[in-house]
Amino acid sequence: MPTSRRSFLAFAGTSLASLEIAGATNISMLMPSPSGHGDDVAGLIKLSADSNAALMRGDIDAYRELIELTDDFTLMAPFGGPPTHASQLTDERMQAMGRFFKNGTLKQEVVQSYASADMVVLAVIERAHVEVGGLKAQDWALRVTLVYRREGSGWRLAHRHADPLVDGISLAQAAALARGEAP
C-alpha cells in the first residue's frame, strides 16, 4: 500500500470511540475541578465518546467542534505506519476523514484513567459498528490510549495510540508483525 494511502488510513481509523451519552461539550469549555480531577476526567471521557460518535456518523464538523488538538499532537494509528502529526491534518485531510466513516454506532469502555493538574490519560476499549472506507458495516474494536493536556483553561488532545488487538494474537503473529511481515 502506498505510504500516502497508509497515512490516510492510519489517521482515518483512529477515532473509533463512544459512550452512549446524550449531549456534547466543547473540549475548551471543560474547566478544572477545584476539589480534584474527577470532574475533568468525567468530562473528557464524555467528550471522547461524543466526538468520536460524531466521527463514526461521518460528521467531521461536529467532531472538529468538540475536539481540539494540541499543536504537537501525535497519532499512532491502528493501521500502523509512521506517526501522524498535527501539521499533517489539513482541512482537506480532515474532510476526507469525515467521508471515510458512515452510519456508525459506538461504545467506549473505560479501562483506567489517570489525572494530574495538567494531564489526563484515558485507557479505553472503543467498539464501533461502522462503514469504513467503503467496506460494509462491521464491528471494529480498538485498544486506545488518549492523552489530554490542559492548555489555558481547557483541555486539548495531545496524543492518541490505537491498536486492533482487543482479542489478542499469538506470539508468532506478533513476531511476524514486528518483522514487517503481512499476517
Whether 129 and 139 have beta carbons less than 8 Å apart is answered as yes
Convert the pLDDT of each residue in 88-130 to its tens digit: 999 999 999 899 999 999 999 999 999 999 999 999 999 999 9
Q: Please compute the mean of the pLDDT values over residues 4-33 and round it to a whole number.
A: 37
Q: Is residue 174 part of a domain?
A: yes
Bridge partners, 75 (sequence order)? 84, 160
Whether 57 and 103 have beta carbons less than 8 Å apart is answered as yes
CATH number at residue 39: 3.10.450.50
- Give the range of the structural domain holding residue 20, as residue numbers without chain letter: 3-178
Q: Is residue 89 part of a domain?
A: yes
> What is the number of structural domains in the chain?
1
Orientation angle between helical segments 91-100 and 3-12, nearest 10 degrees: 70
State phi, psi for 163 to the nearest 5 degrees.
-145, 155
Q: Is residue 183 part of a domain?
A: no
pTM: 0.79
Q: What is the pLDDT of residue 79?
A: 85
Whether 140 and 165 have beta carbons less than 8 Å apart is answered as no
Q: What is the pLDDT of residue 183?
A: 64
Q: For cell 481540539, name the residue.
A: 68
Hey, which of 8-12, 23-27, 140-144 has the most confident mean pLDDT? 140-144
Q: What is the pLDDT of residue 20?
A: 34
Share of the chain above pLDDT 90, in %: 74
Convert the pLDDT of each residue in 70-87 to its tens digit: 999 999 988 889 999 999
Q: Is residue 92 part of a domain?
A: yes
Element (H, E) at 99: helix 91-100
State phi, psi for 87 to the nearest 5 degrees.
-65, -20
